Amino acid sequence: MPQYHQLGQLPPKRHTQFRKPDGSLYAEELVSTHGFSNVYSLIYHCHPPTMIKELGEPWSVEPKLAFKRSLKHQSFEGFHVEPKDDFIESRVPVLVNDDLYITLAAPRKSMSDYFYKNADADEVIFIHEGSGKMKSIYGSLSFRYGDYIVIPRGTIYQLEFDGPDNRLFIVESFSAVETCKRYRNTYGQLEEHSPYCERDIRRPVDLKTYDLTGDFKILIRKQGLIYPYIYATHPFDAIGWDGNHYPWILSIHDFEPLTGRVHLPPPIHQTFEAHNYVICSFVPRLYDYHPQAIVVPYNHSNVDSDEVLYYVDGDFMSRKSVTRGMITLHPAGIPHGPHPGTVERSIGKKETHELAVMVDTFRPLWVTEEAVRIMNPDYFRSWLS
């Protein structure tokens, strides 16, 4: 989790009177996780955050499954997902289970006339192409190529893009997304061996208070449905807030790789953890330096986890015919490994310039109908030649 942060005006003590210049009270809100026993923030609103004017009919955005059971290596052309103007409509879930959804999106336009809240899941939005600003009640975060935007569930936000060409790789997590426990000391501080530190984490800035009444459209996602709400007050009406529960950004370019004399396994790339899965970052790094080292990964039987790789940029040392935005799925129960010829070609090379995001899940992933449309049907044969 990120460290304590605060913006704006706050009373000297929580749960006490905090008055506006006209003498009326600001409305205090506790945003908490695990009931009242985990990370939280306190927000001070100009208006109570409960003023709902209308509630429209919900509609389903639940993934449509093509199949749940498969023992076949798969690959998908992520950039074949068609761009759409609207952010919500552009989101295409491709691999899902009860712990997370892996989603692709190519929105062309900013969220200018509505706000969005995922009430079910934390979101990790990886910016493959595009730049812009994420706005919330906590302030704003500027994002760019290579950023992981970590958005805790229940956060109302807007994405403002600088242009129409945007590609996003999104993990929707039904458990909290956290920094890795093995990187933290007992006080929650990132330790010296961590591949990133607190200086690399970007926190919200530029808190703006929107003390406005009117009609404000908020789309709330809950249990596979989108509920359209009309609030009577602007959702970003905070005069101040403090705590540990807020959106933040870590750039993949700030992840410092670990290397060794011989090849080190994928856990060295771990970036985030959650219940039943991890997220890892493959970044440019020096190769292994034993004089007889084979620097590409060895063959691996992942008997208890599905492995997903999202290829961002550069040449991936162990694979052939990789395209930008490609996703590979190597399911538990069958070995995978380097493509033919890549082992010999790698010997003697000093470094790699690959960039990729990996998601390892400890329960099987299910393939959606949308994923089938961008599937490479013969990928499982790619080890033959």
pLDDT in tens, 13-59: 999 999 999 999 999 999 999 888 889 999 999 999 999 999 999 99
Q: Which amino acid is at 310?
A: Y
Q: Place domain 255-381 in its CATH homologous superfamily.
A: Jelly Rolls (2.60.120.10)
> Could you say which of 1.10.3720.10, 3.30.70.100, 3.40.50.410, 2.60.120.10 is the CATH number of the domain covering 51-62+82-237+246-252?
2.60.120.10
Cα 280 from chain centroid (whole Å): 11
Rounded CA-CA distance 202/218 in Å is 26
Mean pLDDT, residues 223-237:
97
pLDDT confidence of residue 319: 72
Helix, strand, coil proportions of the chain in percent (round to 5)? 10, 40, 50
Rounded CA-CA distance 31/42 in Å is 6
Rounded CA-CA distance 281/78 in Å is 18
* Helix or strand holding residue 133 (H, E): strand 132-136
Tokens of 15: 């749960």
User: pLDDT band at 368, cuts 50/70/90?
Assistant: very high
The contacts found for 307-311 with CB under 8 angstroms, 24 or more apart, are: 307/336, 307/358, 307/359, 307/360, 308/95, 308/102, 308/358, 308/359, 308/360, 308/361, 308/365, 309/282, 309/356, 309/357, 309/358, 310/78, 310/126, 310/169, 310/356, 310/357, 310/358, 310/359, 311/356
Apex 357 CA angle, 322 and 95, nearest 5? 85
Closest CA to 173 of 205, 193, 148: 148
Q: State pLDDT tens for residues 166-205.
A: 999 999 999 999 999 999 999 999 999 999 999 999 999 9
* Contact status, residue 218 vs residue 115, Cβ threshold 8 Å: yes
Mean pLDDT, residues 268-272:
95
Lowest-pLDDT range of 130-134, 282-286, 343-347, 356-360: 343-347
Q: Where in the chain is the domain with CATH 2.60.120.10?
A: 51-62+82-237+246-252, 255-381
Rounded CA-CA distance 128/187 in Å is 33
Q: Does pLDDT of 318 surpass 70?
A: no
Rounded CA-CA distance 75/367 in Å is 11
Q: Does pLDDT of 218 surpass 80?
A: yes
User: pLDDT band at 144, cuts 50/70/90?
Assistant: very high
> In the chain, what percentage of residues exceed pLDDT 90?
83
Buried b / exposed e along 274-301 (16+ C-beta atoms within 10 A): bebbbbbbbbebebbeeeebbbbbeeee
pLDDT confidence of residue 64: 97
Phi, psi of 14 (to 5 degrees): -70, 155
Mean pLDDT, residues 363-379:
96
Q: Does pLDDT of 5 surpass 90?
A: yes
Q: Does pLDDT of 317 surpass 70?
A: no
Secondary structure (3-state) at 315: coil
Quick one: DSSP state of residue 190?
B
> In the chain, what percentage of residues exceed pLDDT 70?
99
Provide the mean pLDDT of the chain: 94
Q: Give the CB-side neighbour count of residue 184, counting CA atoms within 13 A.
A: 15
Q: Does pLDDT of 1 surpass 80?
A: no
* Contact status, residue 289 vs residue 310, Cβ threshold 8 Å: no
Tokens of 378: 């013969």
The end-to-end CA distance of the chain, in Å, is 45
* Contact status, residue 126 vs residue 169, Cβ threshold 8 Å: yes
pLDDT confidence of residue 314: 85
User: pLDDT band at 2, cuts 50/70/90?
Assistant: confident
Mean pLDDT, residues 362-383:
95
pLDDT confidence of residue 321: 76
- In which order are the strands placed within the sheet that holds 27-32? 5-8, 238-243, 40-45, 27-32
Cβ neighbour number for residue 344 with a 10 Å cutoff: 11
- Whats the size of the chain, residue-wise? 385
